[in-house]
Amino acid sequence: MRSFRLKVVKQSPESLLSAAQALTPRLLDLRQSKPTPVVLIDGRAGSGKSTFARLLQDQVFQETKQSPKVIHMDDLYPGWEGLAQGSLYLVENILKPIKLAGKAQWQRWDWANDKRGGSDPGNGWREFDGENMLIVEGCGSVTAQSAELADLTIWIEAERQTRKKGFEARDRGVFSNFWNSWSAQEDEFFQEQHSEQLCQLTVNN
């Protein structure tokens, strides 16, 4: 159930900033009350999730001088057909380990080579040692399983036309041909998972 709701009516970085500023006191309370608070930001492609995550990260850093760790679901999906699999990977390899041990290790998806790993010396492995706020942003980050492991869940809402423009602008149109197939995955996933209804907070971008 939503405990409160922010509503931003304009689509602009400034309006998302206003929402981030309004939410900052709650994030600071979480940070003081929990050693490793987890914040999940979900919503459809192009809605502004990554922008909002960065703004929250900046706001918390300004207040605490410690930057929250941000994980992007784009690093977890196993390709363009992997929305559901990426969501499960988040739960099993990041959120559950953090809940049990306060830290996690995971391997990012190498989009260029279509496999988990990477060209870096660590072969795409990443780690989070806890004792800091974790923000996860991306489609599929909020499910019944992940919501149980999070301290705050946020849904970013935006009109389809706005989202499509954001999707195309993000990578200068390189992946525009994936819009329809990804949207179809979103339709199926969110109908099954009821992610929006699971979120405690909605920001209208």
pLDDT digits (tens, 9 = 90+) for 141-180: 999 999 999 999 999 999 998 899 888 877 666 778 889 9
The answer to whether residue 129 is domain-embedded is: yes
Give me the CATH number covering residue 31.
3.40.50.300
Phi-psi category of 46—alpha, beta or left, where left has phi over 0 and alpha has psi -120 to 50? left
| Domain count of the fold of the chain | 1
What percent of the chain shows pLDDT beyond 90? 81
**Cβ atoms within 10 Å, residue 132:** 16
Domain hosting 141: range is: 13-204
Residues in the chain: 205
What does the pLDDT read at residue 2? 34
The answer to whether residue 80 is domain-embedded is: yes
What does the pLDDT read at residue 14? 63
pLDDT digits (tens, 9 = 90+) for 47-105: 999 999 999 999 999 999 999 999 999 999 999 999 999 999 999 999 999 999 999 99
The answer to whether residue 6 is domain-embedded is: no
The answer to whether residue 3 is domain-embedded is: no
Please give the angle made by the CA atoms of 77, 197 and 178, to the nearest 5 degrees.
Answer: 35
The answer to whether residue 4 is domain-embedded is: no
Q: Is the pLDDT reported for residue 16 higher than 80? A: yes
What does the pLDDT read at residue 3? 37
Element (H, E) at 53: helix 49-64
- Angstrom CA distances, 13 to 49, 76, 108, 147, stand at 12, 26, 28, 27
Are β-strands 109-110 and 115-116 bridged in parallel, bridged antiparallel, or unpaired?
A: antiparallel
The answer to whether residue 5 is domain-embedded is: no
Output the pTM of the full model. 0.91
DSSP three-state, residue 67: coil
Reported as a pLDDT band with limits 50, 70 and 90, residue 1 is very low
The answer to whether residue 79 is domain-embedded is: yes
Q: 205 burial class (0-12, 13-18, 19+ CB within 10 angstroms)?
A: buried
The answer to whether residue 142 is domain-embedded is: yes
Element (H, E) at 115: strand 115-116
